[in-house]
Structure formats: C-alpha cells, structure tokens
Amino acid sequence: MKWEDKYFNDDRHSIKNGTLYITKNLMKIPVFREVDGIVCVSFNRNIPTQVRRSISFLLKNNYKIRLVSPSTFNPKFMRCSEDTIVRENFRNMLHNYRYPNFFHFFEANEIDFTEILANYIQETGEWEVFNEEWDKFYPSVMKPYYDYYSGTEVYDDKEYIRDKISKLYRNIKIMQILV
C-alpha cells in the first residue's frame, strides 16, 4: 500500500506527481515525495509542524526516509551537479537539526538523527563532502559571543544542544565503522 492511500488528503493538502504539497498563504509548499522507494522529506523550517507530522507518520508506517533540502524540490536546482545537491542536503540537515523545534522533536520521539544522517552519507558515499560541511558548521555552533552588558559569554544554542552536536560527528564515525 502506498503512502498516498494512508496519508490524509484535505483542502490544505494535495498530491501531484507523487509529491505531497501543503497550501500555506496561497503557496504550494512540497512536504515529501517518493524517489526509488525512499521517501524524501523536505526538512523545511518554514513548515515545522507539517515536517514533524510527516516524519512521524512515515516512520510509524515503516517507510525509509531521507531528509532533504527544500531547494531539491525545485526543478532548476535538480540540474546542478550531484555534489552540489548532496552538499546542500548536508548543510540543511545539520543547520535544521540545531533548530530547537526539530531538535526537541527528534529527542522526544526517540528518532535517531545520527542514523538518518549516517545512512545518507553511506548511500551517497560523500564522506569528504560531509567533512567539509561539518568543518564549516561545527565552529559556528561552538562559537561564543561576549556579552559586554552582563560580562559573560553567550552562545546561540543551548548547552544541551551543543553537547549533543559535539557528540554527533563521533557517533556518525562509529556507525560508519560498524556498517
């Protein structure tokens, strides 16, 4: 049974060419689509509730998911090289995982983000591209700012998010070795 048969279909949602769209402010925003038996979920900050509902629905029904950048749903972007698409997906996954709305969702529902990311690295075989993106991403998470008013160091992210992200790279390397 296909996901189209199970997933709800109302006035806000429409299915066209195997892609589920949500209508928000008169715009049709893609939520997910199926490609080669893998459901690609648009990991989009603009529609976090819909993304969380979609991930929960798909994992509950035992679908294999891949979190992708919303720009990959744009036909013009799909003409880019495979390296550019993979790089954009890594960048999107890392930056949105640190977003508290998604971070708490993964933690509360015990969804292993490390496994999703490690599977994507293994499927694409782009470990070097991931390392490059990680080297850009990690310092931005751990960079403190000095607050002159209070005289303390301030971070953009909470401490528990920084702790989890600092262990993410090590856990991915362990999963790569074990698989």
Sign of the C-alpha dihedral computed for residues 12, 17, 20 and 25 taken in this order? negative
Confidence of residue 1 (pLDDT cuts 50, 70, 90): very low
Q: At what angle do helices 113-124 and 82-97 cross, to 10 degrees?
A: 170
**What tokens appear for 62 in the block?**
């035992």
What are the boundaries of each domain within the chain?
A: 1-76, 80-179
Chain segment 64-89, per-residue pLDDT in tens: 888 998 888 887 877 788 888 899 99
pTM of the predicted protein model: 0.83
| 145: DSSP letter | E
